[in-house]
Chains A and B, each alone.
Chain A
Amino acid sequence: MTVLAECLQPDPSGENCGSRLGTMRALVALMKLRPGVLRRGGSGVLAIVLLCFWGCASAPAPRPTAHPFDDVRRLAIIASGESSFSIVGHHAEPGRTFDEILAWYPTQAWMRPLAKLLHRGINWALELDQTATISRRVDDIAPRAIVAAAMAQKLRASGWFDEVRTLEREPTAEERRADPIVRVMVPAWGLVRVHEGDPDLLASFADVRGYLMIPGTGVVLWEGNEDVTAPEQFPGDSFMKDHDFARQEVVDVLERAGQRLASELMYARSAGR
């Protein structure tokens, strides 16, 4: 009954639908094994099963948090935080091979953490080498400035704001009093493997965050986290052999990240109204 009660709980995130499907399988199996259940309470069980399905179907997608801020007509955007360029391979090997070897030695449990460590170390070294090769060509890119500029441009184009400024340093006391501030961060950017195959395909990416705050109050009007990935995917060689191409792709995705933040900020502007 506990399982059924959990199944009937609202699940806005939709994260538990997998376990609900497992519960459904168990219920269907129960109905097959116990014909008496069907006779006595079949329709009740069926109703519960359908309710489980209904709970999954209506789960909304996660959205950034926001309060309405229709009255905000002037904005200042400031970029802050650290940014690191990386090439994320997300490889299964050599860890899986280690696991296969360890399967022959089931009693050697202490070797498993060692294998994980070795897997991470080898991939870290490989990715570091690739990152070093490309990062020489992208060293002079200022990811936060590109994201902030693209965001400002899209916000201005909307016509919703009288003024959108980008600041290159922390605002002065006077500036802080003037306008709400959007703080933009780009913790990670680079290239990521997005498709397994022969060859594997990579895309440029930027993980960005934005906060719209009223200065001096600590009030956050809007918050957005975006994992931005370029829609186009290319073989790894395209990036490794043509560094100008790699540079253009990462600049494009940083601009796209700024536009995405602007879209989500504008979409949330009248949230709930």
Chain B
Amino acid sequence: MSSRSLAPITLVLALTVNGCGTTALDVRYPEQGVNRALLASVAPRRVQIGNVDDRRLETARVGIEPGGKGEIVTSRSVADIVHEALGIEMSKNGHLLVSDRPDVVVRPAVEVFSLDAVEGYASVQYVGRVVIALTVADGRTGDTLLTRRYAGVRRRQVDKPDESQWREVLDTALARAMHDLATDPDLVAALGGSRPSPARPAA
């Protein structure tokens, strides 16, 4: 490979790292950490996950670097990250992801996906927040079975800040929202095709 042919690759890599004042985080929901949980207690269903509606007030970035030095973004779209996380959780719990003739349709929306930094004197506190809204509908009738929000928040104080902590904070906030979702008995009922008990108010 010649130096001339490598130059564009080097440039792309350098831009990826430095990002012209923008830091791109590879936020993701790790498949190897996903367990079969309450969602597996209903018989396997054909689940269609619709496109994620990005309802965030600010979609261009997820945060600003401490000291306002640059913007923090995700390397993939937030909608893709959330869609992938839901797909992993559903399939790991034995449900079949389909694009036609679904038993249930899950329509997700992401309302918050943000990282805040509060600078102290000798430390920085990061707060990552992820709010995912889900609507679950009957695949045949289209009737809405459940509408619910799942919020994951991670707060972390560090003495020696570095970029890897930003991703950990958002990864953990996403994982907490997903774990709340995976252990919600009302979502299990909706996946099974029934409405949740009225005794438990929707979040």
Q: CA–CA, A95 to B171, complex, Å?
A: 32
Query: Which residues in B have their C-beta under 8 angstroms from that of A193?
Result: 118, 125
| A229/B153 in contact, CB under 8 A | yes
Cβ of B3 within 8 Å of any chain A Cβ, yes or no, is yes
Query: Which residues in A have their C-beta under 8 angstroms from that of B202?
Result: none
Q: CA–CA, A38 to B4, complex, Å?
A: 9
Partner of A231, one of B118, B153, B164: B153
Cβ of A174 within 8 Å of any chain B Cβ, yes or no, is no
Q: CA–CA, A169 to B185, complex, Å?
A: 30
Q: CA–CA, A38 to B123, complex, Å?
A: 41
| B116/A62 in contact, CB under 8 A | no
| A269/B1 in contact, CB under 8 A | no
B107-134 CB contact bits vs A (8 Å, 1 = yes)?
A: 0000010001111111101010101000
| A263/B121 in contact, CB under 8 A | no
Cβ of B38 within 8 Å of any chain A Cβ, yes or no, is yes
Q: CA–CA, A145 to B81, complex, Å?
A: 37
Q: CA–CA, A28 to B15, complex, Å?
A: 11
| A61/B172 in contact, CB under 8 A | yes
Q: CA–CA, A255 to B3, complex, Å?
A: 61
| A195/B35 in contact, CB under 8 A | no
| A24/B164 in contact, CB under 8 A | no
A35 and B1 contact, Cβ closer than 8 Å, known pairs A18-B162, A194-B155, A196-B119: no
Cβ of B32 within 8 Å of any chain A Cβ, yes or no, is yes
- Shortest C-beta distance, B11 to chain A (Å), equals 9
Query: Which residues in B have their C-beta under 8 angstroms from that of A93?
Result: 121
| A95/B121 in contact, CB under 8 A | yes
- Shortest C-beta distance, A18 to chain B (Å), equals 3
A230-273 CB contact bits vs B (8 Å, 1 = yes)?
A: 11000000000000000000000000000110111011111111
| B35/A90 in contact, CB under 8 A | no
Cβ of B80 within 8 Å of any chain A Cβ, yes or no, is no
Partner of B35, one of A43, A59, A267: A267
Cβ of B51 within 8 Å of any chain A Cβ, yes or no, is no
Name the segment of A1-9, A75-83, A127-135, A152-160 touching the other chain.
A152-160
Q: CA–CA, A93 to B118, complex, Å?
A: 12
Query: Which of under 10, 10 to 19, 20 to 34, or 35 or more describes the interface residues of A?
Result: 35 or more
Query: Which residues in A have their C-beta under 8 angstroms from that of B129?
Result: 231
Cβ of A109 within 8 Å of any chain B Cβ, yes or no, is no
Partner of A227, one of B37, B121, B155, B171: B155
| A195/B116 in contact, CB under 8 A | yes
Cβ of A91 within 8 Å of any chain B Cβ, yes or no, is yes
B17-42 CB contact bits vs A (8 Å, 1 = yes)?
A: 11000000010111011011110010
| B155/A229 in contact, CB under 8 A | yes
Partner of A158, one of B33, B35, B183: B183
| B17/A24 in contact, CB under 8 A | yes
- Shortest C-beta distance, A92 to chain B (Å), equals 5
Partner of A18, one of B18, B28, B155, B164: B164
Query: Which residues in A have their C-beta under 8 angstroms from that of B174?
Result: 61
- Shortest C-beta distance, B21 to chain A (Å), equals 15
- Shortest C-beta distance, A55 to chain B (Å), equals 11
The 10 closest A-B pairs by CB, nearest first: A18-B162, A95-B121, A60-B30, A17-B164, A38-B3, A61-B171, A231-B151, A229-B153, A90-B120, A266-B183
Chain B residues close to A by CB (< 8 Å): 1-3, 6, 9-10, 13-14, 17-18, 26, 28-30, 32-33, 35-38, 41, 112, 116-123, 125, 127, 129, 131, 151, 153-157, 162-165, 167-168, 171-172, 174-176, 179-180, 182-183, 185, 200
Supply 18 further A-B pairs (C-beta < 8 A) apart from A57-B28, A263-B180.
A21-B17, A24-B13, A28-B10, A28-B17, A46-B9, A61-B33, A92-B119, A92-B120, A160-B41, A192-B125, A193-B125, A205-B155, A231-B112, A267-B179, A267-B182, A268-B35, A269-B37, A272-B35
